[in-house]
Amino acid sequence: MNYSYSALSPGGSGGFGGVDQHNRCCRNKAWCVKDICGIVCVIMTWLLILFAEFVVMRLILLPSNYTVFSTINMIIFQALAFLAFASHIRTMLSDPGAVPRGNATKEMIEQMGYREGQMFYKCPKCCSIKPERAHHCSVCQRCIRKMDHHCPWVNNCVGENNQKYFVLFTFYIASISVHTLFLVLTQFAECVKNDWRTCSPYSPPATIFLLLFLTFEGLMFGIFTIIMLATQLTAILNDQTGIEQLKKEEARWAKKSRLKSIQSVFGRFSLAWFSPFTEPSCRTRFNSHFYSV
């Protein structure tokens, strides 16, 4: 395990102040992990969403002769695409719950309520006191509170502070995938029923290629995000993160009820649950997360 024992003893020294600019951008206002693999995955995600936007709008909905059908589905598709994109951005640019680096100083230890001689764990990689249920991420190079996993598609860890946005991202991508597959099926039926030359502004080979690629994309993203969404919801309801399940860690913390677990991620039930622009109203205080793991 990547932890080391430390004991508070007289004569300790060190300082902890200022703003930590590690993994920060936009004048320190946003969290941003500078990982090449993650950045490439993020760009690929955006390009795939834009491709779906292009095919659905340019090939399926805008040329449609059924005004009511195209208008309703256009509103649904654009709303889901916007919410999926916003959830992705919020997940990527939100601090997942990073523990301050180098907080294992005498001053900080005393502020946290540790007494002289009391034993605690310290992460040797980022020189931080290990909070309850925190794990060190080698990509973010930080200890993350309630770390579930590091997801390259959002170029960030999924942790205590951004799990809601990640769940919304998987939910909206799954929804837009199902909606896209429905629209592709209706377009195929329309083209087979009528003439392939009149059902699309493009040639029949180009139309078939675009629809088949969009079908593959919808199936791939739909299956992946539905599985991920189910995994995330199960972990939340069981009050056990993905990495805790993977390592088969025994619950040394007081497990919450399913209602309390849901509220700890989304807040009290309201329409704000489905908004990537609101933060959960129920937040656990930071200091309550420190314990020996």
> What positions carry a catalytic annotation?
151
Question: Which tokens go with 102?
Answer: 């180098």
Distance CA 87, CA 79 (A): 12
Distance CA 148, CA 96 (A): 10
Closest C-alpha to 52, from 170, 177, 168, 166: 177
Assign 3-class secondary structure to 42-79.
HHHHHHHHHHHHHHHHHHHHCCCCCHHHHHHHHHHHHH
Rounded to 5 degrees, what angle do the CA atoms 261, 98, 93 make?
Answer: 90
CA 184 to chain centre: 28
Alpha helical stretches, state H, 104-199: 106-111, 163-193
Pairing of strands 119-123, 4-7: antiparallel
Locate tokens 């703003």: which residue?
Answer: 19
The Cα-based distances of 165 to 53, 63, 158, 159, 196 in angstroms read: 22, 34, 9, 10, 41
